[in-house]
Amino acid sequence: MLFLDRTQCIGAWLGRTFVLFKITNMKTKQTIAIIGASGNMGSAISRSLSKGNYRLLLCANDLNKLQAIAADIKSSNLGADVEASDCSRDASWEADIIIVAVPYSAEKEVADRIKEVANQKIVISIANPLNDTYDGLVTAPDTSAAEELQKLLPNSKVVKAFNTTFAADFATPVIDGRQVDAFIAGHDEEALRTVTELVETAGFHPIVAGDLAVSGTLERMQLLLIQLNMKYDYNWLAGWKILHH
Amino acid sequence: MYNLYFQHLNSKVQLTEEEEAHIKTYLTLKKLRKKQYLLQEGDVCKVIAFVEKGALRAYSVDENSNEHIIQFGLEGWTISDLYSFLTGEPATYNIDALEDSELVIISKSAHEELLQTMPKYETFTRLNITGAYLAMQRRLTSIISASVEERYQEFIALYPHIVQRVPQHMIASYMGLTPETLSRIRKRISSK
């Protein structure tokens, strides 16, 4: 007998024992390159995705720092498949999914380096193109960091995700009893499904907001959250929750 | 990165530089390390992989957990679970890397778009699949009618240098023999 419940768990009687296990959508392990994995966001994303059926390649220039992060992830999660790499091009070549966790100002340089090996792959843009004083964006009103990245990588499947969550939220995706929403935007249906699974693995509630053109709205939502955080002192632990019936 | 792939394509359909550049936009480059999977049984196979460098194998696992190798994929070969790829049913094969490998991959959606828009790609695909069908027919005929010695020699002709790259027990598995039987056959052939 099998049953499926709302937590996406599957239960089955094996002899006299009832076994409950989580559904993983895919058996074949996907490799994810996280470029900028030594940063606040990059390391938080790496840590939270290490719980899933993924092989993680952490990339940054500071290999010592990366190795320390990889060792730390492995010590808290023995099953984690994590490796450090100082070559974002090689890691992206191995990867099925690439997460660009660098500031907006560094996106072009990263895109130039990985362009050929990122062809047809999912590339996740997490950047918020904030100005130096955190009170506005440096991008024009009719575009976004994600759409600019798509222009730089025209044959990749760029998806906006993980930009409306602070780094601290990854350790605490349930705040004040509510699971934080995480918004996703992109053009490619299959890519959106894959990124939705990533967001679930990280512990957030995924909401596909629309195609890549919605990214500008999502980036401005985070601008607002940052401003509110500074004004009301949320201690960088805050998130969005859509209330609905 | 895709030299061999385009050599292979050009040997079947002559492409212009623009056509090569156009096809390139649909291709995924992927490195696989030894023992990593390209596909595990139960997942839907969504890609056809061309081996630019390295070696892979496709195999099924029976209910006694014995592995049966269906195909090796060395440089210049394509490897996939074509049944799963074409029907969307879960794969019955596993595909993993026997060596660190570099692949040129075409996803199902990219493949279908190219088939629709580029007659030369369609010709290439037809020739490739016809070739795979002929190879399978040869393998089937050989299994049901040739002696094991003949089969071993056909195998070596099909995959030259494979003996240096792949462990004996895998070759035995491909031929449907026990490693001991294969070893006896090899001795018999070499003593002739």
Interface check for B58 against chain A (CB to CB < 8 A): the answer is: no
Instruction: Return the pLDDT at B192.
Output: 74
Report, as an integer, the average pLDDT of A6-29: 54
Report, as an integer, the average pLDDT of B4-28: 97
Instruction: Return the pLDDT at A25.
Output: 66
Structure tokens at B53: 């460098």
Q: State the Cα–Cα distance between residues B162 and B108, nearest whole angstrom.
A: 30
Instruction: Return the pLDDT at B190.
Output: 83
Q: State the Cα–Cα distance between residues A198 and A30, nearest whole angstrom.
A: 11
Instruction: Return the pLDDT at A117.
Output: 98
Q: Which residues lie across from A120 on neighbouring strands?
A: none
Using CB atoms, pick whichever of B25, B36, B40 lies closest to residue A119: B25
Interface check for A190 against chain B (CB to CB < 8 A): the answer is: yes
pLDDT digits (tens, 9 = 90+) for B104-123: 999 999 999 999 999 999 99
Instruction: Return the pLDDT at B159.
Output: 86
Q: Does residue A19 surpass a pLDDT of 70? A: no
Q: To 5 degrees, how large is the angle CA B160–CA B122–CA B45? A: 65
pLDDT digits (tens, 9 = 90+) for B21-45: 999 999 999 999 999 999 999 999 9
Interface check for B39 against chain A (CB to CB < 8 A): the answer is: yes
> What are the chain B neighbours of A28 within 8 Å (beta carbons)?
37-40, 43
- Whether this model's ipTM surpasses 0.90 comes out as yes
Q: State the Cα–Cα distance between residues A202 and A51, nearest whole angstrom.
A: 8
pLDDT digits (tens, 9 = 90+) for A69-123: 999 999 999 999 999 998 999 999 999 999 999 999 999 999 999 999 999 999 9
Report, as an integer, the average pLDDT of B42-55: 97
In chain A, the percentage of residues whose pLDDT exceeds 90 is 88
Most A-contacting residue of B29, B40, B48 (CB-CB within 10 A), to test interface: B29
Contact between A27 and B40 using a beta-carbon 8 Å cutoff: yes
Q: Does residue A23 surpass a pLDDT of 50? A: no
On whether the CB atoms of residues A173 and A238 are closer than 8 A, the answer is no
pLDDT digits (tens, 9 = 90+) for B74-102: 999 999 999 999 999 999 999 999 999 99
Interface check for B41 against chain A (CB to CB < 8 A): the answer is: yes
On whether the CB atoms of residues B19 and B93 are closer than 8 A, the answer is no
Which of B:83-122 have CB within 8 Å of A?
105, 107, 109-110
Instruction: Return the pLDDT at B166.
Output: 93
Question: What is this structure's pTM?
Answer: 0.91
Instruction: Return the pLDDT at B160.
Output: 84
Q: Does residue A187 surpass a pLDDT of 90? A: yes
Q: State the Cα–Cα distance between residues B123 and B128, nearest whole angstrom.
A: 9
Q: What is the average pLDDT value for chain A, to the nearest integer? A: 91
Alpha helices in chain B, H assignment, sequence order: 3-12, 17-24, 82-87, 108-117, 119-145, 148-158, 162-165, 168-175, 179-191
